[in-house]
Chain A
Amino acid sequence: MKKPKILVLRAAGTNCELETANAFRVVGGDPDLVHIAEIKAGKKRLMDYAVLAIPGGFSYGDDVGAGKVLANQVRHTLTDLRQFVRLGRPVIGICNGFQVLVKAGVLPHSNACDQVASFTFNDSGRFEARWVHLRLNTQSSCLFFKGLPEMIELPVAHGEGKLVLKSPRHLEDLKKTKSIALQYVTEDGKLMGYPHNPNGSIFNIAGLTNPEGNVLGLMPHPERFVASHQHPNWTRQTYRKQAIGLEMFKNAVDHAR
């Protein structure tokens, strides 16, 4: 079967690229780790790939704000990203990659390519790593979620994960366009504060998609749940769960085929 080529974008400080590439490989993708300097130098071209993944990490140390420097590089170097998205090719930004997509104005979608959202420090004031319960927006057309249950679990690990919007109006827009992909919830699906919402994000938002559903940005790490024994409770028989993260990568690869 055809192995879709996946561009896994790197920069100084990217650090989840290997496990992200492994996840794509397991579901039949052909991942290529590409440093943004290689794109800038014209050695690699975004349009030669079927899927773009921006993995987690601390690009450029998150100096001047999480993902900000890489977001600027994406704006000025990946100039064909808009076209890539318009063609319906899957794009996933995980953790630092989500921060990059937001600060580059790719998510939330806006016709003017404006940045209408950003991230700030967790309400707790600290970097935190924990597993969270999430609710998928079953109304969204996000291609990464095909066949997934409404309630899932994934780990988060970040210090600047609190999503903020330019104005309350933008929250209404997100709801209307079904762009809210994932929300932090309690085990029984309720919207609650810390620690269920680990960072204080507005409306418990954990992930965003575009109205077409081919771009997904999320703070949780699906690449850390691609085998059942990565779940924190896999040693408890009653908790054995399907590796949800892997399904997201599979959906992207299947879509690209």
Chain B
Amino acid sequence: MNASAVKDPAAAAAEAPGILDKSVKELRALGDARHLSLNDAEWAVIQGHFKGLKREPTLAELETLAQTWSEHCKHKTFTSPIRLTEGKKTRVIKNLFQETIVAATQAVKKPWCLSVFDDNAGVVAFGKKWALAFKAETHNHPSALEPYGGSETGVGGVVRDVLGCGLGAKPVLNTDVFCFGRPDYKGPLPEGAHHPNRTMRGVVAGVRDYGNRMGIPTAGGGLWFDDDYRLNPLVFCGTVGLIPQWAVDKEVKPGDFIVAVGGKTGRDGLHGATFSSANLGEDAPTSAVQIGHAIAEKRVLDALLRARERKLYRSVTDCGAGGFSSAVGELGAAGARVSLENAPLKVSDLDSWEIWLSESQERMVLAVPPKNLKALQAVFAAEGCETAVLGEFTKTGRLVVEHRGRPVVDLDMQFLHKGLPRVEREAVWNAPAPAKPSGGAEKKASLVLREAVADLNVCSREWVIRQYDHEVQGGTVIKPLQGVRHDGPGDACVIWPQAATGDMDDHMGFSVAHGLNPDYGRLDPYWMAMAVVDEALRNLTCVGADPSRAALLDNFCWASPADPKQLGALVRAAEGCRDAAKGFGAPFISGKDSLYNQSKDEKGRELPIPGTLLISAISTVPDARKAVTMDFKGPGNALYLIGRTNDELGGSLYHKILGRSGGEVPKVSPACALEGFKSLHAAINRGLVLSAHDLSEGGLAVTAVEMGFSGEFGCLIDLDEMARDPRIYSNETLLFSESPSRILVEVSPESESAFLRHFGKGAKAAAVRRVGQTTANPILKVVGLDGSVVMEEPLRELKEAWQKTLPAVLG
């Protein structure tokens, strides 16, 4: 940059911190002071680049580089080389993301994947005319600092991702999963940390207020409680959008105007991208959390989709982390010229770099052909939505930003996007030695069952779900709460997007489900990944979605990857994802990672979260009128259990209740699982299934209880009829094992033979067995291996226990 071009030397000096002569230590100090989260190798490359240019970088340039190269934006851990030591062997993974997630998607090759990994959301075909855009991401660090604002803007952000996917998809479902410390946590907390109870209330309220105001149904989420999340809550926000297939592709042409639409730019949300790429501590910048305004975003939504129908713009993306810097950079890889004085501001005293990097909410950036500008401005004005021409896209290969005639950024796009040095990281994985279950005291099965249904990770989520408008848009045909009294725990929701398609004669629907279980990850992250993919797919299958049309999203939340053990576990989980996706033939279409989820506890010790993987699956329901709920429908119906039960109680709720450790982690056989899921799907499509519910935490016992009290019928189950490992001699193991891939299904006596025919040759692999029947009396009666009655429990009391846990701690 030419120094003579600078009009205001004082301002320019203030904006140029001077890095050329600084030592490594001084650069680190500068980075810390400005929350840049740059490592030594990155500083060296930046220093070298500007030494070559023979000038100091401006502050705005440093900030732009730090944001673009942040973990949040570049996913450095997943894309840099990793040297993994397993026992005595060492191997190098060049690019974890490419070698696991992308490789699996390429291997399963599904023609209905319309856009994977490169847009703001993954896109799959939905019928011939439409497509579904699906994205889930986290807003963990902001939600830890300010639960309400953090979760609100988490929802707002992922909604904009879907709006900014292709030429814009209409959001038709929000789905949110949270991990918190227990809301009744009584231990100490470090200075400044929120109690998990307050965090949970704030997060739920934020998601509620933003989603409800935008008129997007919120359904099909999940909750997980574990005290290791008390300082680092996880807030996963997901959105599904409906988009016409013609609008999936976008392009930017040189000469197109860069048009910002929506909210004004303020000082809120500075350093969001870089701050989420560091461990969370007391010194977290308060300005990093943005302020949400749902109605401003609703205006953008209304205007954008109207402009899309008239094809007034060529491309669009959202302003997320990094604000204009990342949005303009993403769209204009061939070059862009921006004049910051054109940006509408909330306050007039913003510095250039603040305007450029601010993460103020509800803003999007469009590429608009000059001839369409007037028409586009009229569409947005009609919705009361502001537009501003920031500049134009060029083909110079340079990112040029000016402010009141003064150049503030002049960077080579190639250096900005490709200049990031790849630093090899060390990772260690030591396979845990198989440990025999030990410790804890035996308990009567009926007492374990009572504790299991009331456990925080099993109990009713009604306290949360009722606060969400899960039926706006009139398409939630399978609701999150099911059964006679609309309060039973559904496996997934089914959405019939009639409001968005405008076609009430098209009955195709879709379903979204999740899988998450950090307790398995504590034993082996590989099998955790397999188990949670399985869980998401079996939940989808239970409601009538097609398991062979399922697409997946991955969201890894981990502690610091600077710890080789943490990184080793992360590699192991990613490899589990790869093998599960290949085994189930389910491609990944999008994903995210959130690292550095660890903080110092009250004694100054690092408290990492347990390695957590959320798998979110989406699939079509060929005819939403054939969907299935989980409540028993009547007495005298046959109960079939699909899937084999093994002695693998490691990480199970049963062990937690007994205070027992060790044991085998549950293992998945994707081929057998898929056989069962596909056969069940065919039977559901033929109308042969009355109810279906998956087996997860608490195993068969909890599943049977939930189906019973939701339908207000009982059941009789004979454990000796279960397909199982013949070495199991314990009734408790059969009742509470969490072997994956299992589903309990209710079939009327007249449909039994037709139902079984659908399993055909695969019946053996799917391990489908008649294990009992439903009864008129709402009692769970279980006959054990020796023919004696193991338990006879009234379901009404179990339902009360299941329902009162959350209200008791939240009010």
Q: Given the known inter-chain contacts A130-B466, A223-B474, please indicate yes or no for A16 contacting B628, CB distance below 8 A.
A: no
B496 CB to nearest chain A CB (Å): 8
Query: Does A167 touch B at the CB level, under 8 Å?
Result: no
| Bound-complex Cα distance A239 to B705 (A) | 22
Query: Does A189 touch B at the CB level, under 8 Å?
Result: no
Q: Which of B36-44, B207-215, B268-276, B394-402 contacts A (4 or more CB under 8 A)?
A: B207-215
| Bound-complex Cα distance A22 to B473 (A) | 10
Q: Which of B213, B466, B504 contacts A61 (CB 8 A)?
A: B213
Whether A15 contacts B625 by the Cβ 8 Å rule is: no
| Bound-complex Cα distance A214 to B150 (A) | 45
Interface residues of B in 292-308 (CB under 8 A from A): 293-295, 298-299, 302
Q: Which of A79-87, A99-107, A170-178, A229-237 contacts B (4 or more CB under 8 A)?
A: A229-237
Query: Does A207 touch B at the CB level, under 8 Å?
Result: no
Set of chain B residues within 8 Å of A234, measured between Cβ atoms: 477
Set of chain B residues within 8 Å of A233, measured between Cβ atoms: 484, 486
Set of chain B residues within 8 Å of A60, measured between Cβ atoms: 295
Query: Does A192 touch B at the CB level, under 8 Å?
Result: no
Complex: chain B residue closest to A57, CB-CB: B215
Q: Which of B382, B468, B498 contacts A129 (CB 8 A)?
A: B468
B106 CB to nearest chain A CB (Å): 38
Q: Given the known inter-chain contacts A13-B213, A19-B499, A237-B633, please indicate yes or no for A227 contacting B466, CB distance below 8 A.
A: no
A15 CB to nearest chain B CB (Å): 2
Interface residues of B in 174-224 (CB under 8 A from A): 208-209, 212-215
Whether A229 contacts B474 by the Cβ 8 Å rule is: no
| Bound-complex Cα distance A87 to B315 (A) | 48
B667 CB to nearest chain A CB (Å): 33
B130 CB to nearest chain A CB (Å): 15
Q: Given the known inter-chain contacts A128-B467, A157-B471, please indicate yes or no for A15 contacting B214, CB distance below 8 A.
A: yes
| Bound-complex Cα distance A26 to B711 (A) | 33
Whether A157 contacts B469 by the Cβ 8 Å rule is: yes
Interface residues of B in 333-384 (CB under 8 A from A): 382-384
**B468, B478, B479, B624 — which one has the most chain A CB atoms within 10 A of its CB?**
B479
Whether A15 contacts B215 by the Cβ 8 Å rule is: yes
| Residue interface bits A126-140, CB-to-B below 8 A is 1, else 0 | 111111000000000
Whether B498 contacts A22 by the Cβ 8 Å rule is: yes
A98 CB to nearest chain B CB (Å): 16
Q: Which of B469, B477, B479 contacts A127 (CB 8 A)?
A: B469
Set of chain B residues within 8 Å of A236, measured between Cβ atoms: 484, 631, 633, 711
Q: Which of B299, B469, B479, B624 contacts A12 (CB 8 A)?
A: B299
Whether A229 contacts B477 by the Cβ 8 Å rule is: yes
B561 CB to nearest chain A CB (Å): 39
Complex: chain B residue closest to A159, CB-CB: B212
Query: Does A89 touch B at the CB level, under 8 Å?
Result: no
| Bound-complex Cα distance A237 to B213 (A) | 35
Set of chain A residues within 8 Å of B295, measured between Cβ atoms: 12-13, 58, 60-61
| Bound-complex Cα distance A229 to B631 (A) | 16
| Residue interface bits A10-30, CB-to-B below 8 A is 1, else 0 | 101111101100100110000
Q: Which of A13, A155, A159, A229 contacts B298 (CB 8 A)?
A: A13
Interface residues of A in 127-161 (CB under 8 A from B): 127-131, 155, 157, 159
Q: Which of A16, A37, A157, A230 contacts B477 (CB 8 A)?
A: A230
Set of chain B residues within 8 Å of A5, measured between Cβ atoms: none
| Bound-complex Cα distance A224 to B475 (A) | 8
B98 CB to nearest chain A CB (Å): 41
Query: Does B470 touch A at the CB level, under 8 Å?
Result: yes
B234 CB to nearest chain A CB (Å): 24
Interface residues of B in 256-274 (CB under 8 A from A): none
| Residue interface bits B685-726, CB-to-A below 8 A is 1, else 0 | 000000100000000000000000001000000000000000
| Bound-complex Cα distance A10 to B383 (A) | 10
**A126, A129, A157, A236 — which one has the most chain B CB atoms within 10 A of its CB?**
A129
| Bound-complex Cα distance A236 to B468 (A) | 24
Complex: chain A residue closest to B299, CB-CB: A12
A11 CB to nearest chain B CB (Å): 9
Set of chain B residues within 8 Å of A35, measured between Cβ atoms: 382-383
Set of chain B residues within 8 Å of A127, measured between Cβ atoms: 208-209, 212, 467, 469
Query: Does A163 touch B at the CB level, under 8 Å?
Result: no
Whether B467 contacts A126 by the Cβ 8 Å rule is: yes
| Residue interface bits A204-233, CB-to-B below 8 A is 1, else 0 | 000000000000000001011011011011
Query: Does B629 touch A at the CB level, under 8 Å?
Result: yes
Set of chain B residues within 8 Å of A57, measured between Cβ atoms: 215
Set of chain A residues within 8 Å of B482, measured between Cβ atoms: 232, 235
Set of chain A residues within 8 Å of B468, measured between Cβ atoms: 129
Query: Does B1 touch A at the CB level, under 8 Å?
Result: no
Query: Does A38 touch B at the CB level, under 8 Å?
Result: yes
Whether A22 contacts B504 by the Cβ 8 Å rule is: yes
Whether A19 contacts B382 by the Cβ 8 Å rule is: no
Interface residues of B in 643-693 (CB under 8 A from A): 691
Whether A12 contacts B474 by the Cβ 8 Å rule is: no
Whether B500 contacts A12 by the Cβ 8 Å rule is: no
Whether A232 contacts B479 by the Cβ 8 Å rule is: yes
Whether A15 contacts B298 by the Cβ 8 Å rule is: yes
Set of chain B residues within 8 Å of A223, measured between Cβ atoms: 474
Whether B383 contacts A12 by the Cβ 8 Å rule is: yes
Q: Given the known inter-chain contacts A126-B467, A226-B474, A235-B628, please indicate yes or no for A58 contacting B212, CB distance below 8 A.
A: yes
| Residue interface bits B469-505, CB-to-A below 8 A is 1, else 0 | 1111111111101101010000000001011101010
Interface residues of A in 163-209 (CB under 8 A from B): none
B218 CB to nearest chain A CB (Å): 9
Whether B215 contacts A16 by the Cβ 8 Å rule is: yes
A31 CB to nearest chain B CB (Å): 10
Q: Given the known inter-chain contacts A126-B467, A236-B633, please indicate yes or no for A18 contacting B627, CB distance below 8 A.
A: no
Complex: chain A residue closest to B500, CB-CB: A18
Set of chain A residues within 8 Å of B293, measured between Cβ atoms: 61
B541 CB to nearest chain A CB (Å): 16
Complex: chain B residue closest to A55, CB-CB: B215
Whether A26 contacts B504 by the Cβ 8 Å rule is: yes
Set of chain A residues within 8 Å of B466, measured between Cβ atoms: 126, 128-130
| Bound-complex Cα distance A37 to B486 (A) | 40
Whether A129 contacts B627 by the Cβ 8 Å rule is: no
Set of chain A residues within 8 Å of B500, measured between Cβ atoms: 18
B510 CB to nearest chain A CB (Å): 15
**B214, B466, B471, B627 — which one has the most chain A CB atoms within 10 A of its CB?**
B471
Set of chain A residues within 8 Å of B631, measured between Cβ atoms: 235-236
A247 CB to nearest chain B CB (Å): 15
Q: Which of B208, B382, B471, B478 contacts A224 (CB 8 A)?
A: B471
Set of chain A residues within 8 Å of B298, measured between Cβ atoms: 12-13, 15
A134 CB to nearest chain B CB (Å): 15
| Bound-complex Cα distance A131 to B500 (A) | 23
| Bound-complex Cα distance A14 to B499 (A) | 14
Complex: chain B residue closest to A239, CB-CB: B484
A240 CB to nearest chain B CB (Å): 11
B181 CB to nearest chain A CB (Å): 22
Whether B467 contacts A235 by the Cβ 8 Å rule is: no
Whether B479 contacts A229 by the Cβ 8 Å rule is: no
Set of chain A residues within 8 Å of B208, measured between Cβ atoms: 127
Whether B294 contacts A129 by the Cβ 8 Å rule is: no
Interface residues of A in 34-63 (CB under 8 A from B): 35, 37-38, 56-58, 60-62
Chain A residues in the interface with B (C-beta under 8 A): 10, 12-16, 18-19, 22, 25-26, 35, 37-38, 56-58, 60-62, 126-131, 155, 157, 159, 221, 223-224, 226-227, 229-230, 232-237
List 13 other contacts, CB 8 Å, given A35-B382, A157-B472, A229-B627. Answer: A12-B383, A19-B473, A22-B504, A61-B213, A61-B293, A61-B294, A129-B468, A129-B469, A157-B471, A229-B625, A230-B477, A234-B477, A235-B482
A-B contacts, 15 listed (Cβ < 8 Å): A10-B302, A16-B474, A19-B473, A19-B498, A19-B499, A22-B498, A58-B295, A126-B467, A155-B471, A157-B212, A221-B474, A229-B627, A233-B486, A235-B631, A235-B691
Ranked nearest first, the 9 interchain pairs of A and B with the lowest CB-CB distance are A15-B215, A19-B474, A18-B499, A61-B295, A19-B499, A157-B469, A224-B474, A58-B213, A235-B629
